[in-house]
Amino acid sequence: MQRRFFELGVLMGMVLLVASILLTGCNSEPSGAELYTLNCASCHGAAGKGGMATALSVPAFLATHDDTSITRLTSEGVPNTAMRAFGKANGGMLTDEQITAIVKYLRSIRSAN
């Protein structure tokens, strides 16, 4: 069941990313929201509200994790959990700039709530 949700989340993210690229042009960098949807939402929920994994946009998480620690966790992963490394330097597919965009997105949706 969890695998089905994961696959559905990844598919949804890919559809949104392709639609965004088609609407904004192929040369534009995906936004933090688009990167989050594609890489994070399947586990952490839409807008960071939680799912199979920790809710990332809730006050308790954001108050106890600064941008540097969220960036490190995203880039390096979390040992002994399903949270794998997403940073290119650690075998993932995201650049440092893309991870920074995701962190900024998480802060922005928190401040918008």
pLDDT per residue rounded down to tens, the chain (113 residues): 666 666 766 666 666 666 655 655 566 889 999 999 999 999 999 999 999 999 999 999 999 999 999 999 999 999 999 999 999 999 999 999 999 999 999 999 875 55
Q: DSSP for the chain?
A: -HHHHHHHHHHHHHHHHHHHHHHH-TTSPPPHHHHHHHHTHHHH-GGG--SSS--SSSHHHHHH--HHHHHHHHHH--TTSS----BGGGTSSB-HHHHHHHHHHHHHHHHH-
pTM: 0.74
Domain count, the chain: 1
Pairwise CA distance, residues 29 & 63, whole Å = 29
The CATH code of the domain that includes 23 is 1.10.760.10
The boundaries of the domain holding residue 60 are: 2-112
CA-nearest of 68, 48, 71, 74 to 59 is 48
